[in-house]
Amino acid sequence: MTHEDAGHYALKHPSGTEINQQIAERIKAAVVDNMITCKAAHKIADELGVKPGEVGVTVDLLEVRISKCQLGLYGYGTGGKVVKPAKVISPELDATIGKSAVNGKLACLESWKIAKELGITRMEISSACETLKIKISSCQLGAF
């Protein structure tokens, strides 16, 4: 989606895609200023036992914006992203990201797995990726 398409999130999905009412009610309860945080969307997925992508589709169909990406990539006001390149990357992290990246991209879900495996924050993963010039792709919620 381009910035010009902002606010037309439902257009990302095939005509006739239906809203999951159970997910929709939970989203509506978590929305502030027509936005839901990445963390809140993932919490809904966990609590309902659905994939984050299902929550993401419902978010789109409700024309709600996702804010405060847990990797720091989008949703932080006018600046957009808050992640900054890492000054130092451990050899272990460098190697782990290198093994997991495909064609210069690291999937969002894979970045979360690495953070958990290495006991570091998700922002540390995205910060390392910024330095390594590796693009994080395939948002679990479908934002990118």
Residue 61, both tokens: 């169909």
**What is the percentage of the chain residues whose pLDDT exceeds 90?**
90
Whole-number pLDDT of residue 32:
96
Task: Identify the segments of the chain with pLDDT beneath 70.
Answer: 1-7
Whole-number pLDDT of residue 77:
85
Instruction: Name the residue among 132, 101, 102 with its Cα closest to residue 114.
Output: 101
Whole-number pLDDT of residue 6:
59
Contact 101, 69 (CB under 8 A): no
Whole-number pLDDT of residue 79:
77
Q: Which residues contact 99 (CB under 8 A, 6 or more apart)?
A: none
pTM: 0.91
Whole-number pLDDT of residue 2:
42
